[in-house]
Structure 1
Amino acid sequence: MKKNIILLLTLLACSFYKLQAQSLEDYFELAAENNPGLQAKYKMFESALQKIPQANALQDPTLSFGYFISPVETRVGPQRAKFSLTQMFPWFGTLKSKGDAAALLAEAKYQAFLDARNQLYYQVAASYYPLYELKKWIVLEQENREILESYKTISTKQFENGNGAMVDVLRVDIMLKDATTNLQILTEKKRPLVAAFNALLDRDETEEVVVHDSLVIKPLLNNYRRDSLLGDNPALNEIDLKLKASREMEQVAIKQGMPKFGIGLDYVVVGTRSDVEMTDNGKDILMPMVSMSIPIFRSKYKASVKEAQFMQESYQLQKQDYANSLISSYAMAEFELNQQQQLIGLYDQQIAESQQALNLLYTAYGNSGKEFEEVLRMQQKLLKYQKMKATAITKYYTALAKIDYITAKDY
C-alpha cells in the first residue's frame, strides 16, 4: 500500500512538472503534430509525390484481337484470327520533362506545407499571448479588489472616528462592485480563449493551457531578421518551383507536338489447306510493325505552349506581388513592435509615478481623512496603466511572432 501511494505521488509530481514545463515552443510542437489542417497539407505533398512515377511512365501497350468471320484465303491457307500488340513512344525527352515538372510541383507542395506550418505557429502565438494578457488582467483585478476592500475598511473606521465622510465608504463600495463584475467577466472570457487555442492543437477545448507569469521585453536590433525576408521564404519558394514546373510543361507541350513512334507485332493464325500438299501449309504469319503519329492539327499544341507561357508570366507576377506584400507586412509589424516597446517604457514610468502619487495621497488621507476621492482616482489610474502595459506586452509579442512568420523563422 505504501509503495502504491509513493508511485501515485511520483506520477502526480511528474505530471505537474510536465504541465509546468510546457512552453510556447512545446505548443508549437503539439500543433505541428496534431493540427488536421497542417496534416492535410502534408498529405497533399505525399499525394503529389505519387504523380512522379505516373508522369515518367509510358502509355500502356495495346493488345487487339480479330476473328475472320469469312476467312481470307491465302496460298498457304485461310486466315482465321489476328493478334496485334503495339507500344507507342513519345518524342525524345518528353517523359523526362513530365517527370521533372511533377517533381517540381511536389516540391512546391512541400514548400506550401512549410508555409502552412509557419502560419500555424503564428496563429498559436497569436492565441497564446491574449491568454497571458487575460491572466495578468485577472491578477491585477484581484489585487485591485483586495486594495479596495482594505480602503473600505479604512474609510469605514475613518467615518466611525469622525475623520471621514460616509460618501467615501459608498464610493469604495461602488468601485468594489465594478471590480467584482469585471473580475467575473474576465474569468468567463478565459473559456473561449482556451477553446480557440486548444482547437489549433486539436485538443479538448477544456484542456489546461500553461501561460507564462511574466514576459521580458528583449532588446532587438533594427531591421530584426529583415535579411531573411525574401531569402528563403517558403511561399516565394513555392511560386519559384511552380514557375520552373511551368517551364518544363512548356517543353512537354512542344515535344507533344512532335511525332510519336510505335513498334508492334501482328500474329495471324492460318488454317491448313486440305486440298493440296505444299511447303509451309497452314503456317502462321508473324509481322513486325513500326508506326508513327502525324501531328498535323497544330492548333492544340500551339495553345498548350501558350498556356504554359502565360502561366509563367502569372507566376512571375504572383511572386512580385507576394514579395511586395511581405515588405509591406514587415514594415507594419516592425512599426507595431517599436510602438509597443515605446509604450511599455512609457507605462513603466507612469506606473512608477502613479504609485508614488498614490502613496503620498494615501498618507495624506490617513492624516487628515480628506481627499479620499483622489486616492480612489489614482488607484484606478494605476490599475489602468498596469492593464495597458499588459496589453502592450501582448501586442509586442504578437508583432514579434508576425515578423518571425513573415521572415520564415526556423524554430
Structure 2
Amino acid sequence: MKKDKYKISSKRQHHRLIRDYDRYFIRWSPSNFCHLTSDSVLKFTAIACLLMVLGTFQIRAQSLETYFSTAAENNPGLQAKYKAFEAALQQIPQVSSLPDPTFSFGYFISPVETRLGPQKAKFSLSQMFPWFGTLKAKEDAAALAAEAKFQEFVDVRNKLYYEVTAAYYPIYKLNKWKQIEKENIDILTSYKEIATRNFENGKGEMVDVLRVDIMLKEASTNLNILNKEEKPLLTTFNKLLNRPSEEEVIIEVEEQADSLPGYLNKDSLMTQHPVLKKLELMHQSSEAAEPAARKNGYPKLGIGLDYVAVGERTDMQIDDNGKDVIMPMLSVSIPIFRKKYNAAIKEAQLKQESLALQKEEFTNNLISRYESVWFNITRQDQLIELYTQQIKETRQALKLLTTAYANSGKDFEEVLRMQQELLKYEKKKAAAVSEYNTAVARMKYVLGTR
C-alpha cells in the first residue's frame, strides 16, 4: 500500500507540475488543460515557466522589485537551473516509451526446398514489452525527479533575489553616507564662517578656525574614499543582473525599515522551503524507482510475425503451390543474471535513506540559521530606534550649542564634538537600516519565500 500513492498517470503528474508553476508564476485554469495532448502539455509547461523567468513578475513601486525581474531574466546561473529543469522534463517521455520494434530481413542464397516450393526470403517483425507496470513506475520516478529540479530552480531564484538585495542595500548605505558627509561639509563650512567672524570680532580664538579646517579636510577625504568605494559595489550588483558594470543603479529605500510580516513563522513555513520540497520529491522519486527496478528484473514479453516468401514448384502441381508462410511468434526473456537487478533495487533503497538523512540535516541547519537571522533582525530594529532617538536629541543639543556659541564665542570645541556625534549616529542609522533590510531578505530566503 505504501507504494501505491506514487502510481499516478503521466497526465496527472503533468497536472500537478502545472499547478505548482501556477503557485509561483502564472494564473492557471484547469479547464484550459483538458484538451491538450501529452506533448502539448510539455511544451505549454516549458512556455509557462519561461514566461515567469522572462519578466512576468508584478512590478511594485520600489525599484528593487524591478531589479529582481531583471536578474531573473538575465542571470545565467538561474537560466542554467531552468534549462536543467527543462532537460529533466524530457526524461518523462524517454522512460515511459516502449522499446523500438525490430524488423529483420533474410535472403536465402541457397533456397530451402519445401513441399510447397523453395523458400526465397524471410521477413520478421517483433516487439518486446516490459513487465506490466514497469513503464508506469519509471514514468512516475522521472516526473517526481523533474518536480525536484523545479524546486531546485525555485531555490536558486530565491537565493538570487537575496543576493540582489544583499548587494542593493550597501549601495543605499554608501549613498546615504555620501549625502551625510556632504551635509557635514556644508555645516562645517558654515561653522568656519562663524568661527572666523567671531575671531575677527574678538569673541573667538584662531584655534577654533583651525579645528574646523582639520575636520573639513577629514570630511573631504572621507567623501573621496566613499566615491571610490562606489565602483566595486556597482560592479557586484550589476553582474548579478548580468549587465555592464557601469550601468546606473537607482536606489529607492524608505527611511522607515519594513517590519517583518508576522506570518513568517518557522514552524508553519519550514516545510515550504524549496530545498525541503526538493529532497522530499527526490525521496518519493527513489521510492517510485524501487518498484521500477524490481519489475525491470521480471521477464519481458515479445510478440512478432515471420513472413517467408516461397517460390512455386515447376516439377509438379500441388495444392497451395508457392504459398507464402506466415508465422506468429511469442518470446520471453529469461532474467537469470540477478546481480544488476538486485543492485538497482538496493540503490533505490539506499538513496531513500540518504535523502531522509539529508532532509533532517537541512532542517536542523535551517532552524539554526533562522534563530541567527531573527536575532540580527531584532538587534538592528532596536538599533534603528535607538539611533533615531539619539539623532533627534543630538540635533536639539547641537542647535542650543550653536546658538550659544554664535552669541558668546565660547565652547566651540563642544559644538564640533556634538556635530561629530550627530554624524556618527546618522551613519550608524543608515548602516542599521541597510543591515535590517538585508537581514529581512535573508530571513525570507531561509524560510523559502520571496
Residue in 2 aligned with 1:239?
279
Whole-angstrom distance in 2 between the partners of 1:113 and 1:228: 22
Take 1:123 and 1:221, find their aligned partners in 2: how far apart are those partners? 20
The more displaced of 135-144 and 23-32 is 23-32
Q: Which residue of 2 aligns with 1:54?
A: 94
Residues matched between the structures, number:
392
1:126-184 deviations in whole A, cap 9, x for unaligned? 12111211121111001000011111112222222333332222221121112112112
User: 1:25 aligned to 65, 69, 78, which one?
Assistant: 65
Pair 1:362 & 2:402 matched: yes
Q: Secondary structure at the match of 1:229?
A: helix
Equivalent of 1:88, from 125, 128, 133?
A: 128
In structure 2, distance between residues paired with 1:77 and 1:308? 56
2:301 is matched with 261
Give the letter for the 1:304 counterpart: A
Shift of 1:391: 0.4
Q: Which residue of 2 aligns with 1:197?
A: 237
1:249 correspondence with 2:296? no
> Greater CA radius of gyration, 1 or 2?
1
Selected match of 1:143 from 183, 196, 199 = 183
Question: Which deviates the most, 296-305 or 101-110?
Answer: 101-110
Deviations 1:245-266 (Å, cap 9, x if unpaired)? 1111111110011000000111
TM (norm. structure 1) is 0.89
- Write the distance in 1 (CA, Å) between the matches of 2:288 and 2:357: 19
Contact 1:358 1:379 in 2 (8 A): yes
Q: State the distance in 2 between where 1:218 and 1:40 align.
A: 33
1:323 aligned partner: 363
Shift of 1:97: 0.6
What corresponds to 1:350 in structure 2? 390
Q: SS state of the match for residue 127, structure 2? A: strand
Larger displacement relative to structure 2 (157-166 or 380-389): 157-166
Q: Which residue of 1 aligns with 2:172?
A: 132
* Paired residue type of 1:317: L
Report if the CA contact (8 A) 2:260-2:440 is conserved. Answer: no
The one-letter code matched in structure 1 to 2:229 is K
Aligned-pair CA distance for 1:224 = 4.2
1:406 alignment counterpart: 446
- Indicate whether 1:180 and 2:220 are aligned: yes
Question: How far does the alpha carbon of each residue in 1:256-285 deviate from its partner, in whole angstroms, 9 at most, with x for none?
Answer: 110000001111222333223222232222
For 1:105-120, list aligned pairs within 5 A. 105-120=145-160
Q: Distance in 1 between matches of 2:354 and 2:258?
A: 41
Cα distance between partner residues in 2 of 1:219 and 1:45 = 35
Instruction: Provide TM-score, normalisation by structure 2.
Output: 0.82
Matched, 1:167 2:207: yes
Task: Give the distance between the partners of 1:400 and 1:20, measured in 2 at CA.
Answer: 18
Matched, 1:385 2:425: yes
Partner AA of 2:444 in structure 1: D
Instruction: Report matched runs for 1:366-377 at 5 Å.
Output: 366-377=406-417
Q: How does 1:253-332 map to 2 (within 5 A)?
A: 253-332=293-372
**Deviation of 1:310 (Å):** 0.5
CA distance in 1, matches of 2:322, 2:210: 122
Question: Are 2:259 and 1:211 aligned?
Answer: no
CA shift for structure 1 position 362: 2.8
User: 1:196–1:383: structure 2 CA closer, same or farther, 3 Å change rule?
Assistant: same
Asked if the contact 1:22–1:210 (Cα under 8 Å) also holds between the matched residues in 2, the reply is no
Report the CA distance shift for 1:275/1:222 in structure 2 as closer, same or farther (over 3 A).
Answer: closer
Name the SS of the counterpart of 1:269 in structure 2. Answer: strand
- AA aligned opposite 1:292: V
Tell me what 2:55 maps to: none
- Cα distance in 2 between the residues matched to 1:284 and 1:125: 78
Q: 2:81 aligns with which of 41, 49, 60?
A: 41
Cα shift at 1:76: 2.2
| Aligned 8 A contact 1:263 1:290 in 2 | yes
